[in-house]
Structure 1
Amino acid sequence: MKNKIRCCALLLAAALLPASPAASREAPAVPGLDLSALYTADLVGIVDGGLEEGVRATDNLEVAVDADLSELAGWKGARARIHLLSNRSGRPNELAGTIQGINNIEVDEDRSKLYQLWIEQSFAEERVRLLLGLADLNAEFYQNEAASLLIGPAFGIGSELAATGPNGPSIFPSTALTARLRVAVGKDGYVQAATVNAKAGVLGDPDGIDVRMKDGLLLIGEAGWTRTGKLAAGFWRYTKRQPRFLLSEGEHDRHGEIAQGGYILVEQPISIGRAEPLHLFARVGFSDGETTPFRGGWQIGGLWPAPIAGRPDGQFAFGINRGLLTSDYHLLVSEGSATGGEDEVGFELTYSDLVAPFMTLQPDIQYIRRPGGDPRTKDALALSLRVRLTLP
């Protein structure tokens, strides 16, 4: 706890530095380089239901350097990113007992690491872009901007994909070696595809970066249209078989299964008079249902910027998610009971606002029905407060 307090104090002091003209003169900006830092701290309380009532804290420190190599080194059409993470987790989901999680910065192990390291080259007046390196798959694939404020992990990337791979796919908190090609189609369309190492791992993880790729590859493609909102569809597939999630008594898994699936998503702004438009989204995903507990899932919700007059930086968001669990998983959690298990459903309401030039506060409430898909576990009510400190 003392270390967390010291860390918060140091980051708060650092965030105040840009307000000083003297400090700005001493550290002028470098053309072509953009340094950013973000510290996020969450206090999460399970106030009713779940496995156990209690309060946990978790945090995440990010430092990133974005380089415009055209301006910095004369390399036309090239840019690069270095992105570092440091996570400390109180594991709030241990109290909630959900299968999809309740906090999108929660990690299993406290660790500092390299998160992203990539270079991207654009061609044909930036209509074609090739990226190589360690990259977050969810930054471009299976992504809804209108869901970005929500804290529930299922609103980031569908659980049926997030649960795959030997160490998860190339998403938070560990990425993998990636080659991604994105091509603009007409004025508002795009197609993109990526080849990703099936085993995520970066410098700072126990096994580091997997350069041998002995577990094969994750192949993913997406096509979309973005004129007024977003309409997109994607498909993903692993090149090597993975162990089945659950075997029957006496059954042997000699070959495993090919994990694969797809998704469709839509996002659309809706005019509500003179106020900012309400951005609604809906997504549905499906998978093989053999290598993870999920056969699919869906999420719906919306984001409303500036809902309160006089608070231009405020944002309100709401969402509902449902993890569609396999019949084998239902039997597992119900210990073979004839009643079986049920799908886990989450409801979330959240509001974020800038309370200082460097600080954002975000209270959040989540209600999870049937945590873990187990009908014997009481529905969970989670209250959170997220604090973000930024360093320009």
Structure 2
Amino acid sequence: MNLRALYLFGAVAALFPAACAAQDRPVELAAEVTVDLVGQMAGACDRKLRALTNVDLTADLDLAALAGWDGATMHVYVLDNRGARPNDVIGTLQGVDNIEVPDAGLRLFEAWVEQGLGGGASLRAGLYDVNSEFYANDAAVMLIAPPFGIGSEIAATGPNGPSIFPSSALAARIHVPVGTDGAFVRAAVINARASTIGDAGGVDFSFRDGVLLMGEVGRSGARLRGAVGVWAYSRDPEDLFETTPDGMPLRKPSRGIYGVLEGDLVASESGTVTAFFRAGLSDRHATPFGGGFQAGALMAPVVASRPDSRVSLGLHHAWTNRHFRDQQRLAGVTAGNETVVELTVSDTLAPSLTVQPDVQWIHNPGGIQGASDAVVAIMRVIFSF
């Protein structure tokens, strides 16, 4: 954590009790510090422990109370990430830790205003995390492997990735409830180049790479819930594999479809067991992936006397596409798919302290057939304020 992040964290921690004093508070502040220790227990790489940190600072403002702007709220989210990059050594296609970033730094991750439109509908505009609403489900949130956040077949797209952790982009999102049973429709237009304050160049206002269009229909708030979504870039990106006769990259469409299904298998006063399945497909030109799926289950609580105890088991699998396999074959590598099984447990040991051990078994790391399977252990410690 650098000095600026420490100052911000201290300011939020100091103000937070005052913000929580009133029942109907116009400003809500929160801070969370996550520290991960990552080590490989089996596989081809070394056994060194590598540390990563993630600091989340959020503020939610009621603009009606603060400025007389009826039906409007504002959300600001500052993010700081430091530490090692364990996947540089482990070498998976999809990563092992969802707080690992390519470039350490302090960023303004989200800053949007939401306007209520009546009937539960709303419009958001500003710097926006697509994965906060699209291609997301609650039962997968506890799992640490990145594909449980958003499918790799879309996470690997865009000039700098789509507008997801750790870099966001300017966007506009509309959400419209349908009926009274939790059905909804949402759509978003997002700058194709994810770049925010803290990234090189800051926020991109040029939109020179076009936009990412996303749409999702689904149902929430029921025992069985889920969504189906589609996405496409307005401007065809450069093909990662195919070129023109003079060696210039071809431009091919980048688009895909996904589905999310989640349901409560057991729902009682003593605990809930929730299962989920997610899958996505994309074109074969802009990423190494043709698609993938994630499945898993969450039990909460594990022990009735410990209401914050949870255990989650997950499986994620990525299909590499033909172009990626051909490219790897030219390099003398037999490429295949990558499969990961993850088991994690967590519990709150003190009012502000959560401990979460995690283990992942990785088959064909890097999508390389015959590569030694890897076993990665993570100890996550979370301080919340």
Question: Normalized against structure 1, the TM-score is what?
Answer: 0.91
Deviation of the 1:272 alpha carbon:
6.6
CA distance in 1 between partners of 2:84 and 2:249 (Å) = 38
Change (3 A) 1:224 1:25: closer
Match of 1:281 among 262, 273, 276: 276
- In the TM superposition, structure 1's runs of 4+ consecutive aligned residues that sit over 6 Å from their partners are none
CA distance in 1 between partners of 2:269 and 2:209 (Å) = 53
Q: Is the 8 A contact 1:51 1:377 kept in 2?
A: no
The equivalent residue for 1:292 is: 287
The equivalent residue for 2:299 is: 304
CA distance in 2 between partners of 1:69 and 1:24 (Å) = 20
Deviation of the 1:377 alpha carbon:
2.4
The equivalent residue for 1:146 is: 139
CA distance in 1 between partners of 2:361 and 2:19 (Å) = 49
3-state SS of 2:135 partner:
coil
Say yes or no: does 1:88 pair with 2:67.
no
3-state SS of 2:276 partner:
strand
Match of 1:220 among 203, 214, 219: 214
List per-residue Cα deviations over 1:313-340 (Å, max 9, x = no partner). Answer: 1111110000110122123334465x83
Q: Is the 8 A contact 1:242 1:256 kept in 2?
A: yes
- The sequence identity of aligned pairs, in percent, is 38
3-state SS of 1:232 partner:
strand
For 1:162, give the aligned amino acid. Answer: A
Instruction: Name the count of aligned residue pairs.
Output: 380
Deviation of the 1:95 alpha carbon:
2.0
3-state SS of 1:84 partner:
strand
Q: Is the 8 A contact 2:19 2:27 kept in 1?
A: no
Deviation of the 1:247 alpha carbon:
3.1
Change (3 A) 1:184 1:383: same
Change (3 A) 1:386 1:26: closer
Mean Cα displacement is larger for which, 40-49 or 375-384? 375-384
Deviation of the 1:342 alpha carbon:
1.3
List per-residue Cα deviations over 1:315-372 (Å, max 9, x = no partner). Answer: 11110000110122123334465x8321000100000110000110000000110001
Match of 2:194 among 182, 200, 224: 200
Q: Is the 8 A contact 1:31 1:72 kept in 2?
A: no
The equivalent residue for 1:137 is: 130
Q: Is the 8 A contact 2:19 2:28 kept in 1?
A: no
Question: Normalized against structure 2, the TM-score is what?
Answer: 0.92
Q: Is the 8 A contact 1:222 1:234 kept in 2?
A: yes
Change (3 A) 1:27 1:229: closer
3-state SS of 2:379 partner:
strand
Mean Cα displacement is larger for which, 30-39 or 107-116? 30-39
Q: Cα RMSD between the aligned structures? A: 2.6
Structure 2 unmatched runs, 5+: none
Q: Is the 8 A contact 2:284 2:322 kept in 1?
A: no
For 2:102, give the aligned amino acid. Answer: D
For 1:146, give the aligned amino acid. Answer: A
Match of 1:317 among 312, 318, 321: 312
CA distance in 2 between partners of 1:27 and 1:323 (Å) = 43
CA distance in 1 between partners of 2:33 and 2:338 (Å) = 30
CA distance in 2 between partners of 1:11 and 1:181 (Å) = 32
